[in-house]
C-alpha cells in the first residue's frame, strides 16, 4: 500500500514537472518571439538618444549571451564593456580609417549613397561591447572536423544579446568596419583572442519599421523561394 | 480651422503608430524571451520522438531565419531542406567517419564519455536543414575590413531558427562533426558555397532542464565574472 502511494506521488511529481511553463510554449508566446525577431534592427548613431543604460539592463543583456548554444559546451566567449571616452575615440578612429578605405570599392550611385550613410554609433551610445572568441587549448567536442563552430558559438551569443536588447527596447548596432588588430591592441586583448563583434548599445529615439538599408533601397529583401531549396541544389 | 483639424489628425495618427505593440515590449514579453533563451537545447538523436513536423511549423522556422540581421543587408544564406532517407544516410556516413576520427583526440575518462555520447539525430529526425553561406560577387557594405560578418550573418539566421523551433516546442540539434566538402558534394552545392551548419529538427520526448554536456559534467557552466571584463583586458 505504502509503495503504491509512493509511486502515485512520484507520477504526480513527474507530471507537475512536465507541465511546467518552461517546457511547453503557447501560441501567444510564439508570437511574442516572432514580434521581437521582426522588430530587431541594426541601429546606427543618428537614431540613438543619449540616455544611459542602467546596470540591470546591461546585466540582462549579458546574461542572454551566456545562455547561447556553444560547440561542445565550450562557451568560448569573452566580453569587454567599453564606456571610457578615450578608448571609444581610438576605436572610432579605426572606423574612420577603414570606412575611408571602403568608399572607393563602391561605384557611382552606390558610392554617393554610401557616403551619406551613418554606419556606427561608437561615440553616440553610452555602452560599447567588444566580443571575442577565445580558442580552447584542448580539443573541443564538435570542433574536430570544422574549426568554425567555436567562432559561430560567439555569434549565437551576440544574436541573443541583440534580441534581449530589443525586448528591453534598447537599440544595438554591430560595427564591422574596423581593423580587428587595432581593436585588440586598444583593448589589450591577448594575441590568441579573435574579435568577433563590436557592438554599440543605447536607448533609441525610434526603431525603424523596416531595415534602414531596405528603406534606402540599398538592397531588396530576399523571398523565401529564392533561398530555400528542397532536397538538393539543382 | 481646417488646417488645425488636419494637424490634430496627423498627431493622432503619429501617436497611434508610436503606441503600436511592435515598437515597445513589456516586462512580460521580455520574460517570455528570457524563458525561450533559457529553455533552448541542443537536442541529440535519442531525445527525438519520430513525429513529423508539419509544413506550417517548418515555414515558421524558416521565416525566423529570414528576419536575422545580415551585414550590409546582404542576406547571404541558402537553405536545403533534406528529408530523403538516401541522402541522410550519406550524411550520416560522413558523421560516422569524422566521429571515429575525433575519438582518439580525447584522452582517458573523456574518451570513455565521448564514446557513450549520441551526438546527432540525422536519421532520427523527420527534417534536416543544411545552411550555406553564399559569398556575394560584389563588395558588401560592412564586409570590407573583416571578411567574417558574411558567415556570421548566416549563424544569426541559425540562432533565430533555433529559438523559433524551441518556441514551437520543436527540438533542434546542430551537427558539426561532418566533412563539409562531402556534404556539399551530396547536396550538389555550388563550389563557392560554404557549409555553415547542418541542423536536425524534430519533435522531442523531452527538453532537458540543463544542457546535456553540463549534466554529464563534460564542461561546467562559466560564470559572468569569468568572461566579462570592464574597459579592457588586464
Whether residues A139 and B174 touch (CB distance < 8 A) is answered with no
Task: Name, in order, each residue with C-beta under 8 angstroms of B106's C-beta and a sequence gap of 6 or more.
Answer: A139, A141, B113, B114
Strand partners, A170: A203
- Chain A residues closer than 8 Å to B98 by CB: 144-145
Closest CA to B151 of A196, A91, A70: A196
pLDDT of residue A25 exceeding 60, the answer is yes
- Chain B residues closer than 8 Å to A185 by CB: none
State how far residue B4 is from chain A, nearest Cα, in angstroms. Answer: 26
Of B80, B119, B142, the CB nearest to A176: B142
Element (H, E) at A102: helix A85-102
Under 8 Å CB pairs connecting chains A and B tally to 294
Q: What is the pLDDT of residue A21?
A: 37
- Chain A residues closer than 8 Å to B211 by CB: 73
Number of residues assigned to chain A? 234
DSSP 8-state symbol, A170:
E
Query: B173-193 pLDDT, tens per residue?
Result: 999 999 999 999 999 999 999
Q: Which of A63, A76, A131, A176 to mutate to test the interface with B (most CBs of B within 10 A)?
A: A176
Q: What is the DSSP string of A47-97?
A: GB--PPPPHHHHHHHHHHHHTS--GGG---EEEEEE--HHHHHHHHHHHHH
Q: What is the pLDDT of residue A231?
A: 98
A113 occurs within a structural domain: yes
Of residues A16 and A131, which shows the higher confidence score?
A131
According to the 3-state scheme, what is the secondary structure of chain B?
CHHHHHHHHHHHHHHHHHCCCCCCCCHHHHHHHHHHHHHCCECCHHHECCCCCCHHHHHHHHHHHHCCCCHHHCCCEEEEEECCHHHHHHHHHHHHHHHHHHHHHCCHHHHHHHHHCCCCCCCCCCEEEEEEECCCCCCCCCCCCCCCHHHHHHHHHHHHHHHHHHHCCEEEEEECCCCHHHHHHHCCCCCCCEEEEEEEEEEECCCCCCCHHHHCCCCCCCCHHHHEEECCCC
Q: What is the pLDDT of residue A101?
A: 98
User: Residue A232's CB: how many other CB atoms inside 10 A?
Assistant: 15
Of B23, B144, B163, the CB nearest to A207: B23
A45 occurs within a structural domain: yes
Q: What is the pLDDT of residue B23?
A: 78
Q: What is the pLDDT of residue A36?
A: 98
Q: What is the pLDDT of residue A1?
A: 44
pLDDT of residue B162 exceeding 50, the answer is yes
Of residues A151 and A50, which shows the higher confidence score?
A151
- Quote the cell numbers at residue A29: 508566446
The CATH number linked to B80 is: 3.40.109.10
Whether residues B188 and A233 touch (CB distance < 8 A) is answered with yes
CB contact at 8 A, A72 and B218: yes
User: Residue A212's CB: how many other CB atoms inside 10 A?
Assistant: 18
B14 occurs within a structural domain: no
> Please, which pLDDT band fits residue B145 given cuts at 50, 70 and 90?
very high
Q: What is the pLDDT of residue B146?
A: 97
User: What is the pLDDT of chain A when averaged over all its residues?
Assistant: 92
Q: What is the pLDDT of residue B46?
A: 86
Of A74, A105, A159, the CB nearest to B159: A159
- Chain B residues closer than 8 Å to A139 by CB: 102, 105-106
Q: Which of A29-43, A89-103, A170-184, B22-36 comes out lowest in average pLDDT? A: B22-36
Distance CA B54, CA B51 (A): 9
CB contact at 8 A, B29 and B101: no
pLDDT of residue A5 exceeding 80, the answer is no
State how far residue B37 is from chain A, nearest Cα, in angstroms. Answer: 6
Whether residues B22 and A156 touch (CB distance < 8 A) is answered with no
Task: Kindly state the average pLDDT of the residues A147-165.
Answer: 98
CB contact at 8 A, B209 and B180: no
CB contact at 8 A, A136 and A194: no
> Please, which pLDDT band fits residue A20 given cuts at 50, 70 and 90?
very low
DSSP 8-state symbol, A119:
-
Q: What is the pLDDT of residue A23?
A: 78
- Chain B residues closer than 8 Å to A137 by CB: none
pLDDT of residue A22 exceeding 50, the answer is no
Q: What is the pLDDT of residue B5?
A: 55
A179 occurs within a structural domain: yes
Query: A174-220 pLDDT, tens per residue?
Result: 999 999 999 999 999 999 999 999 999 999 999 999 999 999 999 99
> Please, which pLDDT band fits residue B10 given cuts at 50, 70 and 90?
low
Task: Kindly state the average pLDDT of the residues A47-72.
Answer: 97
pLDDT of residue A222 exceeding 50, the answer is yes
> Please, which pLDDT band fits residue A46 given cuts at 50, 70 and 90?
confident
Residue A143 DSSP SS3 = coil
pLDDT of residue B12 exceeding 70, the answer is no
Instruction: Give percent of chain A with pLDDT exceeding 90.
Output: 88
Of B30, B164, B231, the CB nearest to A84: B231
State how far residue B217 is from chain A, nearest Cα, in angstroms. Answer: 10
Chain A residue closest in CA terms to B66: A224
Of B73, B119, B234, the CB nearest to A211: B73
- Chain B residues closer than 8 Å to A229 by CB: 78-81
Q: What is the pLDDT of residue A10?
A: 53
Chain A residue closest in CA terms to B31: A167
Q: What is the pLDDT of residue A45?
A: 86
A70 occurs within a structural domain: yes
User: Residue B34's CB: how many other CB atoms inside 10 A?
Assistant: 16
Whether residues B164 and A35 touch (CB distance < 8 A) is answered with no
> Please, which pLDDT band fits residue B3 given cuts at 50, 70 and 90?
low
A65 occurs within a structural domain: yes
CB contact at 8 A, A65 and A158: yes
Number of domains in chain B: 1
Chain B residue closest in CA terms to A35: B22
Question: Which ipTM did the prediction report?
Answer: 0.91
> Please, which pLDDT band fits residue B45 given cuts at 50, 70 and 90?
confident
B169 occurs within a structural domain: yes
Q: What is the pLDDT of residue A188?
A: 98
Whether residues B232 and A188 touch (CB distance < 8 A) is answered with yes
The separation between CA B111 and the C-alpha centre of its own chain, rounded to angstroms, equals 28
pTM of the model: 0.91
Of B64, B189, B233, the CB nearest to A187: B233
Residue-number span of the structural domain to which A98 is assigned: 38-134+165-217
Chain A residue closest in CA terms to B83: A231
- Chain B residues closer than 8 Å to A167 by CB: 25, 29-30, 33
pLDDT of residue A156 exceeding 70, the answer is yes
Query: A63-89 pLDDT, tens per residue?
Result: 999 999 999 999 999 999 999 999 999
CB contact at 8 A, A185 and A87: no
A193 occurs within a structural domain: yes
- Chain B residues closer than 8 Å to A180 by CB: 145-146
pLDDT of residue B9 exceeding 70, the answer is no
Distance CA B68, CA B55 (A): 21
- Chain B residues closer than 8 Å to A195 by CB: 146
Distance CA B60, CA B69 (A): 17
Amino acid at each position: 500500500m505504502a509503495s503504491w502511494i509512493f509511486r502515485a506521488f512520484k507520477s504526480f511529481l513527474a507530471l507537475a514537472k512536465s507541465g511546467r511553463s518552461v517546457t511547453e510554449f503557447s501560441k501567444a508566446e510564439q508570437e511574442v518571439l516572432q514580434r521581437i525577431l521582426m522588430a530587431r534592427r541594426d541601429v546606427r548613431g543618428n537614431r540613438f538618444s543619449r540616455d544611459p543604460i542602467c546596470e540591470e539592463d546591461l546585466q540582462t543583456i549579458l546574461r542572454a549571451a551566456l545562455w547561447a548554444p556553444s560547440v561542445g559546451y565550450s562557451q568560448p566567449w569573452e566580453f569587454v564593456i567599453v564606456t571610457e571616452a578615450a578608448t571609444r575615440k581610438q576605436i572610432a578612429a579605426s572606423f574612420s580609417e577603414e570606412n575611408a578605405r571602403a568608399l572607393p570599392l563602391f561605384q557611382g550611385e552606390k558610392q554617393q549613397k554610401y557616403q551619406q550613410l551613418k554606419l556606427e554609433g561608437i561615440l553616440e551610445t553610452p555602452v560599447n561591447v567588444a566580443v571575442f572568441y577565445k580558442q580552447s587549448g584542448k580539443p573541443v567536442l564538435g570542433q574536430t572536423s570544422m574549426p568554425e563552430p567555436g567562432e559561430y558559438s560567439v555569434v549565437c551569443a551576440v544574436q541573443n544579446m541583440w534580441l534581449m536588447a530589443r525586448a528591453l527596447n534598447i537599440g544595438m548596432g554591430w560595427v564591422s568596419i574596423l581593423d580587428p588588430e587595432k581593436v585588440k591592441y586598444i583593448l589589450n586583448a591577448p594575441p590568441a583572442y579573435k574579435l568577433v563583434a563590436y557592438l554599440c548599445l543605447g536607448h533609441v529615439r525610434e526603431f525603424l519599421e523596416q531595415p534602414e538599408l531596405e528603406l534606402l533601397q540599398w538592397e531588396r529583401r530576399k523571398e523565401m523561394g529564392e533561398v530555400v531549396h528542397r532536397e538538393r541544389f539543382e
